Amino acid sequence: MAFRSPTATDLFLQPLARALSGTSRAAASRSYPASMQAEDALPPPARRHAAGLMRVNHAGEIAAQGLYHGQALTARTPEVAGHLREAAAEERDHMVWCEQRLAELGSQPSRLSPLWFAGSFAMGAAAGLAGDRWSLGFVAETEHQVAAHLDQHLTQLPAADQRSRAVVTAMRDDEARHGAEAMAAGGTELPRPVKRLMHRVAGVMKALAYHY
């Protein structure tokens, strides 16, 4: 059989299928951060709130898969494309952890996950077309905003929900490192209007994903 190079459609559909196919503990390359934390009995309102926050975090990880794969598709150099795909693989751990925690809370991921992936893939591809330095700067700013958002979630999660806290803390530490690595790889700081737009778009996603 003749070898066929992957098309742009393949490079979109394959990561989309992986992101939406459902996950399990075996799909993560690292151990579950909450494995050593006891499961406290949360009252129903607190459990629903924790699930809403973790659904937002899972939606963010679906978006990260789209973003990184979109950027890798349009990266100018193989080195930057490889850096982005490696980051996507590590972010997949976060997606698995969030989905596992949602299941523990008796909930499930956002029904709008295909939208989060597709929109982020388009933004990532556009960032890649702007050039590798801008694309890496986009990664750094995204990770900076995500780390700040996760810090907020640590103040909003129910005090007794130590399992969700363990997951969010591990994710936050990874996001901060990914942002620093992107700048060290040659990223350029984005203009302030772009940062504000990113923040607003993320706000819409968070508001919808909490409920849907």
CATH at 200 = 1.20.1260.10
Query: How would you class 179 by CB atoms within 10 Å of its CB: exposed for 0-12, middle for 13-18, buried for 19 or more?
Result: buried
Which parts of the chain are beta strand (E)? none
* Residue recorded with tokens 């909490």: 210
For 201-211, write each residue's pLDDT tens digit. Answer: 999 999 999 99
Tell me whether residue 36 is in a domain.
no
Is 32 among the domain residues? no
Instruction: Look at residue 47 and tell me whether its pLDDT is greater than 70.
Output: yes
Residue 97: domain span: 42-211
pLDDT value at 122 more than 60: yes
Q: Is residue 22 part of a domain?
A: no
Neighbouring C-beta atoms of residue 150, cutoff 10 Å: 23
Q: Work out the average pLDDT over 98-110.
A: 94
Mean per-residue pLDDT over the chain, rounded: 87
Q: Classify residue 143: in a domain, yes or no.
A: yes
In a domain, 207, yes or no: yes
- Total of domains in the chain: 1
* pLDDT digits 0-9 by tens, 142-191: 999 999 999 999 999 999 999 999 999 999 999 999 899 899 988 999 99
d(CA 153, CA 135): 27
35 inside domain:
no
What tokens does 196 get? 């504000």
What is the residue whose two structure tokens read 């591990």?
170
In a domain, 169, yes or no: yes
**Does a structural domain hold residue 25?**
no
Name which of 60, 77, 36 is nearest 178 in CA terms. Answer: 60
